[in-house]
Structure formats: structure tokens, C-alpha cells
Chains A and B, each alone.
Chain A
Amino acid sequence: MNGFWWKIGGALIFLYVLIGGLVIPIKPGITSVTPSNAKSGEEMSFNVVGYNTHFLAATKVRAWLKLDSIHAISAKEIQKITENEAKFTFSIPANFPVKEAVQPLSLIVDNDVDGVFVQPNAIFATVADSSTISGEAWKSSGIGQFSVVKGIKFPYRNILNETIRNTFFHIALWFAMFILLIVGVYHAVRFMNTGDMIHDIKSASFNKIGIMYGVFGLITGSVWAKFTWDTFWTSDVKLNMTAIAMLIYLAYLVLRGSSSDHDRRAKLSASYSIFAFVALIPLVFIIPRMTDSLHPGNGGNPALGGEDLDNTLRLFFYPSIIAMALLGTWMSQLLIRYEKLKEKVLLKNQ
């Protein structure tokens, strides 16, 4: 059992991520609001389709159309159709407190089962008479005092929906890949310093599993993209740069396979793996940040902030990185043990 605890630990943490990451529900959200436009001074009904909502189970459903932080109107009539569908009737005031011809309004829905949820810019209101500015009709809204719901739920994102759970698998794979490649490059440097063949074996094994994780990352990212961006591959910088980085690393494998002389192979692959790792950092971290990208957090501030990764996701995302890194280390250990054994057999034969 000695030296085995971290392997079991990795498997157990992965099991925790797998179960928790798949079982915990997504917060309620609004999928569509029809019609999406309204005219001032009219009474209008909007058909609202929600996701994971419980309109029928809730005893008290309330809805508002919000213009800005102080102006909102509450729904005149609410008609529940199904758990995920309801009809809200609003009488849009004739006068708006701002002087603009078209105003976006956000829809806020609150009920005692789901809590509060928002669809920003759900309705665009055309103002017939934008010369008269009056906020009178927008004051009597009774907004605030939302229902509080206990329990953890993952955030709802339009388009993403349930695929937000891929955060625990696709993104954690890349983080774990980095950990494995860092270990690989560490052993490459150690080999350069000492010339000990054990470091060559370790470096190659960690790099191999790291590259395998990278290939998984590309494939799983492709699947995720098909469901959200509706294409397997886009010309997004991050995708292309990562593909280049992976090709550089694939050339590492070709290089290792091409030379039969062990000493030469070890020296070449150690120096190449340092080069590949140094190339990986600007390709994956720097260039995508300098232009626009579909990936969150690129083309500006770093990701993993705000609502892209909220605290409920962190609860599973960080353990997932640890679990994947531990499982990757386990697989690398198996490769190392195999290579050591092979070396021994070869030496005996000579």
C-alpha cells in the first residue's frame, strides 16, 4: 500500500467530480421571450420559455421589466402554462424616463421555488413620443425582496446550458496537461545537468501523457464547440495556436522514434522538449490574449473570473485539475516502470 494512496486519492477525487459535476442541477434561466419587441402605451403579453424553472410548483411568481437601476414596471397578469412556460402581461407606459426612440428592457422573474433569474435585454421597446420624459409610471414596481433559495446550483448560461459541466473535463485537461509538461521539462533540464538516463525516461513519459491530454483537450474542445459554436473547428486564435503547440509536441514523439542510438536520442529529445515547452507558453497564453477570441478571458483580462467560473463551479473545477494531474502521473509512472524494465532487459542481452 506504500506509495499507493495518491493513486486512490486521484481516482476518488475524479469520482467526486464525475458524480457532483453531473448531478448538481443548473440554475433556472430564460430561453426565449416572444415577441421580443413592444410599443409604448400598449398592453402586451409575452410568452416566456424557461429552462429548469418551476412555474406551476411555485406559489408566487412575480415578474418585472427593468429599464435601469431605478426604473421598472411589474407584470399586470401572470398566466402559468407549464413548468417551463408562462405568459406575462405588461402594460408598457406611454412615457419613458429617458429620451431615446428604442429602449432595451430586461426581464426579471422571481418565484419561491427557483429564486430570481434575469434575461438581459429581453425586450426592445419602441417609444412613440420620446419628447415627453417622465418616469412616473416606472416607479410603482415593488422590485426587490427576491426569494432566497438554498442549495448549490451551477450558473445558467444561454447557449451553454448543461455544457457548462464540460468546464470540469475539457478545461481541467489542459491545466493537468500543463502540470505534466512542466514535470517533463523539469526532468529534461535535470537530464541535461546530470546525464542520468533515468531523467530521460521520466521526461519522455511525462511528456507523452501530457501530449495525450493535449490531444484529448483538442478533441473534447471540438465536441464542445459543435454544441455551442455549431462547428468542430473555428479560426479562433486559441484553437489554431494550441493546434500549432500540439504539432510541435507531436514532432517530439517523431524525434524520439527516429533515433535508435539511446544517448543521442536522450540528448536531442531533452533539448527539443525544452524548446517545445518554451514555444508552448506564448502560443497558448500570450498570443490569444492579444486578439479577440471566442474563449472566455481572452482578448483582455484573464479568464476564471466573474461569472465564467463562479464559486459552485470552483468546487469541482479545482479538484478535477488535481485528480487529472494525479491520474496522469499514475499513467506516467506505469510508462516509466515499463521503460526501466525494458532498459534492464536490453542491458542483460548485450
Chain B
Amino acid sequence: MKKFLSLTFISLCAVLPLMAQGDSLDFLRSTGKIYSVVIVIAVIFIGITILLYRLDRKLTKLENQIKNEQ
């Protein structure tokens, strides 16, 4: 459950700039709204990275456990 909460949270962080209204972020809508595609790809990339990071940590734990037994 923790994994999905953190995943959702960090992905939302990528989306947060959209919520802010103002001239400084109008570029997000420029060039035919191409930045929506950029954000979508970023969300997928961030998500997969989180999965890899968590799997890495779990594997390290398992490796240490095996090492301690020997």
C-alpha cells in the first residue's frame, strides 16, 4: 500500500505545475499543448523508476539476509 501512496504522490508532484494558473506557466499550453505529452511520458518514467528503486531495496534486504546466514 505504501508503494502506491508514494507512487501517486510523486506522480502528482509532476502534475502540480498544471494547477498553478499564471503567465509564467502558459508555456505549458504553447506549441499546440505538446507539454501534455511530455508530462504523460514523465509520469510513466517516474512510475517505472519508483518500481525499480523499491525492487532494488527489497533485493538488497534479501541479499543481506542471505549474507548473514552464511
Contact = CB atoms under 8 A, between A and B. Distances in A.
Contacts of B47: 212, 215-216
Nearest to A342: B62
A253 interface: yes
Contacts of A232: 15, 18
Given A51-B32, A163-B33, A341 B40 contact: no
A-B pairs with lowest CB-CB distance, top 10: A161-B32, A162-B32, A227-B36, A162-B34, A220-B40, A165-B37, A163-B36, A227-B33, A219-B11, A163-B33
Contacts of B34: 162-163, 165
A158 to B, nearest CB: 11
Contact of B62 (A220, A345, A348): A345
Interface in B22-70: 29, 31-34, 36-37, 39-41, 43-44, 47-48, 51, 55, 58-59, 62, 65-66, 69
B23 to A, nearest CB: 17
A295 interface: no
6 contacts: A161-B32, A163-B32, A211-B4, A215-B7, A223-B43, A227-B33
A18 to B, nearest CB: 7
B62 A338 contact: yes
A226 B18 contact: yes
Contact of A219 (B8, B37, B59): B8
Interface stretch (A166-174, A187-195, A237-245): A166-174
Nearest to B44: A216
Q: Is the interface of B mostly helix, strand, loop or mixed?
A: helix
Contact of A162 (B8, B31, B58): B31
Interface residues of B, number: 30
A302 interface: no
A96 to B, nearest CB: 36
A253 B37 contact: no
B4 A253 contact: yes
A294 interface: no
Interface string A198-236: 000000000000011001100110111011100010000
Contacts of B15: 219, 222-223, 226, 232
B65 A345 contact: yes
Nearest to A258: B1
Interface string B11-24: 11001001000000
Contact of A18 (B41, B48, B62): B41
A162 B37 contact: yes
A323 to B, nearest CB: 12
Contact of B37 (A163, A338, A341): A163
Interface in A131-171: 161-163, 165-166, 169-170
Given A162-B31, A215-B7, A331-B48, A223 B40 contact: yes
A219 B12 contact: yes
Contacts of B59: 338
A223 B36 contact: yes
Given A161-B32, A216-B47, A254-B1, A22 B37 contact: yes
A110 B42 CA distance: 37
